[in-house]
Amino acid sequence: MYRGPRWAEATEPSAAAEPEEIQVPPPPFTEGAFPCSDCHDPEIPVNTRRRALTMAHQEIELRHDEAHRWCLDCHDTDDRDVLHLASGERVPFEESYRLCGQCHGDKFRDWRAGVHGRRIGNWDGAKTYLLCVHCHDAHSPRFEPLAPDPMPVRPARTR
Amino acid sequence: MSTEKKQRERTEGGVTRRDMLCAVAGCAAALAGGCVDPTHTGFFQEHFQELGKEDLARILGKLERELSGRFGKDVKFGTQEARPGVEFAYALDISRCIGCRRCVYGCVEENNQSRDPQVHWIRVLEMENERGIDFEGADPYYDAETVPRPGRFYLPVACQQCRNPPCVKSCPVGATWQDPDGITVIDYEWCIGCRCCISACPYGARHFNWTDPEIPAESLNPNMHYLGNRPRPKGVVEKCTFCIQRVRDGRYPACVEVCPVGARKFGDLNDPDGELRYLLEHKRVFVLKNELKTFPRFYYFYGL
């Protein structure tokens, strides 16, 4: 019985194997937003109550499982300049893919293999992985429609 | 030609086609025998004898100087050969493509395609979800405010870099061939413009320069390859080369990097850890017009 190419048997996607180090460009912060601790003074006690924001960040419209999620599910309460995983482990914004990968494991696997998302650089060597948030707005990840480039000119007699 | 007519031409001092061919064959034999007379190189077109490294450098230097002068820019010419053991392939995620045509114009810029008349190596087809992949109902001229349009999907088509390329078989002069890394290339100096390859290609991937291509000097890409994106003369055929000037240097093709939704994937099929192999193993993959047995190196897949 033909079971597909031989190399298909041996290689299962290995999400467990931690890659050496993933090169990413700087995360796409809003101008002047980082470091967050510039405004979020650690001395001021954090209001962890779920509420409509009125003093800042009103422009953020959360459309990412908003019924179940809120700011501090991803942003760390005590150190505002980092994110945190469900386990409580803190991760810098440069490794935000680990946070996203907690729920979107299939996409995370594909992204690491280079099949989901964007990479630039060399096919045979050093490449830069664009973070999830370079394409998806973390607060509203669905893609917005965009204007296409102009349609081609219909062929005419050019002779 | 009748015998009388031939006789007449001879006696009148004309040269018949037969005489000419005999003379040429004689010369070729003399060259093969080792008595290389450099004055004959022009007569044979410079490519007729195998080019040495120095000859090649001389020819490329001349082309570089010509182009640099024409466009007022420092043009760099590459002749990187296929890397041994590498087989390129491409994959496009049609579940993600939104039909924005960024790849089309990214390709034009990178590969010095003519702006007027317009030559596009990539054609993005808009199709209806209900009809599925149906080339008859496909529309490359969709004009939308925003994409993707509801109820439609998008299928960009360029050269499929077939393993069994009908275009190569149809070329009467051997001006197009498949390199060992899988890229089918065209020698623009050899192409006679007969367009047999255009009619042979089932994917509409080859394009003809009906007039002198027009490329604005300021947007000329000076990083060129002899078999790739150097400005083409009038009367030759051109097509996608997987950005030969980039990929033989190890870089990704321009369309891969420009795609805003990451639908385009490129890599080496012989690399067991490459993205192409992962994709072929784990995704639903298909090729266009499978029934024609062209065996494309360009795959389409559903990434969702």
Q: What is the pLDDT of residues B27-66, one digit of tens each?
A: 455 445 444 555 555 555 555 556 678 888 888 899 899 9
Range with lowest mean pLDDT among A4-8, B127-131, B231-235: A4-8
Question: What is residue B8's predicted lDDT score, i.e. its pLDDT?
Answer: 47
Cβ-Cβ contacts under 8 Å for A57 (sequence gap 6 or more): none
Contact A13 B282 (CB under 8 A): yes
Question: What is residue A32's predicted lDDT score, i.e. its pLDDT?
Answer: 83
Measured CB to CB, residues of chain A less than 8 Å from chain B are 7-8, 11, 13, 110, 113-125, 127, 130, 135, 143, 145-154, 158-159
* pLDDT category of residue B6 using cuts at 50, 70 and 90: very low
Contact B261 A116 (CB under 8 A): no
% chain A with pLDDT above 90: 59
Cα separation of B31 and B37, whole Å? 7
B89 touches B300 (CB < 8 A): no
Contact A149 B210 (CB under 8 A): no
Q: Which of B146, B250, B282 sits opposite A145 (nearest CB)?
A: B146
Question: What is residue B19's predicted lDDT score, i.e. its pLDDT?
Answer: 57
Question: What is residue B10's predicted lDDT score, i.e. its pLDDT?
Answer: 45
The 3-class secondary structure across chain B, one letter per residue, is CCHHHHHHHHHCCCCCHHHHHHHHHHHHHHHHCCCCCHHHCCCCCCCCCCCCHHHHHHHHHHHHHHHHHHHCCCCEEECCCCCCCCCEEEEEECCCCCCCCHHHHHHHHHCCCCCCCCCCCCEEEEEECCCCCCCCCCECCCCCCCECCCCEEEEEECCCCCCCCHHHHHCCCCCEEECCCCCEEECCCCCCCCCHHHHHCCCCCCEECCCCCCCCHHHCCCEEECCCCCCCCCCCEECCCCCHHHHCCCECCHHHHHCCCCCEEEEECCCCCCHHHHHHHHCEEECCCHHHCCCCCEEEEECC
Flag whether pLDDT at B20 surpasses 60. Answer: no
Cα separation of B243 and B245, whole Å? 5
* pLDDT category of residue A17 using cuts at 50, 70 and 90: very low
% chain B with pLDDT above 70: 83
% chain B with pLDDT above 90: 75
Flag whether pLDDT at B254 surpasses 50. Answer: yes
Please tell me if residue B204 touches chain A, with a CB cutoff of 8 Å: no
Question: What is residue B258's predicted lDDT score, i.e. its pLDDT?
Answer: 96
Contact A115 B147 (CB under 8 A): no
Which is more confidently placed, B293 or A45?
B293
Q: Which of A13, A143, A149 sits opposite B261 (nearest CB)?
A: A143
| Mean pLDDT estimate for chain B | 87
DSSP 8-state symbol, A74: H
**Cβ of A11: how many Cβ atoms within 10 Å?**
13
Cβ-Cβ contacts under 8 Å for B16 (sequence gap 6 or more): B1, B6, B9, B10
Cα separation of B72 and B75, whole Å? 9
Question: What is residue B215's predicted lDDT score, i.e. its pLDDT?
Answer: 95
Cα separation of B239 and B119, whole Å? 9
- B69 dihedral zone (left: phi>0; alpha: psi -120 to 50; beta): alpha
Contact B283 A115 (CB under 8 A): yes
Average pLDDT, stretch B89-106? Answer: 96
Most confident segment among A9-13, A52-56, A64-68: A64-68
Flag whether pLDDT at A85 surpasses 60. Answer: yes
Average pLDDT, stretch A88-114? Answer: 95
* pLDDT category of residue B121 using cuts at 50, 70 and 90: very high
Flag whether pLDDT at B195 surpasses 50. Answer: yes
Range with lowest mean pLDDT among A1-5, A120-124, B238-242: A1-5
Rg (CA), chain B: 23
Q: What are the angstrom distances between the C-alpha of A15 and each of B96, B205, B208, B273?
A: 23, 38, 47, 13
Question: What is residue A33's predicted lDDT score, i.e. its pLDDT?
Answer: 84
Flag whether pLDDT at B202 surpasses 80. Answer: yes
The secondary structure of A2-34 as a DSSP string is: --S-HHHHH----SSS--S----PPP-PPTT--
pTM: 0.82
Average pLDDT, stretch B14-30? Answer: 53
Question: What is residue B82's predicted lDDT score, i.e. its pLDDT?
Answer: 93
Average pLDDT, stretch B232-254? Answer: 96
Range with lowest mean pLDDT among A42-56, B108-122, B168-182, B197-211: A42-56
- Give the minimum alpha-carbon distance from B243 to chain A in angstroms, rounded to a whole number: 13
* pLDDT category of residue A156 using cuts at 50, 70 and 90: confident
pLDDT in tens, A22-56: 888 889 988 888 899 888 988 888 888 888 888 88
Flag whether pLDDT at B83 surpasses 50. Answer: yes
Interface test with A, best of B275, B276, B297, B301 (most A CBs within 10 A): B275
Nearest residue of A to residue B261 by CA position? A117
Domains of chain B, each with CATH number or no CATH = 1-50 (no CATH), 88-302 (3.30.70.20)
Average pLDDT, stretch B81-102? Answer: 95
Cα separation of B134 and A4, whole Å? 29
Q: Which of A121, A152, A158 sits opposite B140 (nearest CB)?
A: A152
Q: Which of A130, A154, A158 sits opposite B211 (nearest CB)?
A: A158
Range with lowest mean pLDDT among A118-127, B45-54, B138-147, B205-214: B45-54
Cα separation of B173 and B187, whole Å? 11
Question: What is residue B11's predicted lDDT score, i.e. its pLDDT?
Answer: 45
Question: What is residue B207's predicted lDDT score, i.e. its pLDDT?
Answer: 96
Taking the CA atoms of residue A11, residue A17, residue A20 and residue A22 in that order, the dihedral angle to the nearest 10 degrees is 80
Flag whether pLDDT at A10 surpasses 70. Answer: no
Question: What is residue A52's predicted lDDT score, i.e. its pLDDT?
Answer: 87
Average pLDDT, stretch A96-122? Answer: 95
Question: What is residue B43's predicted lDDT score, i.e. its pLDDT?
Answer: 54
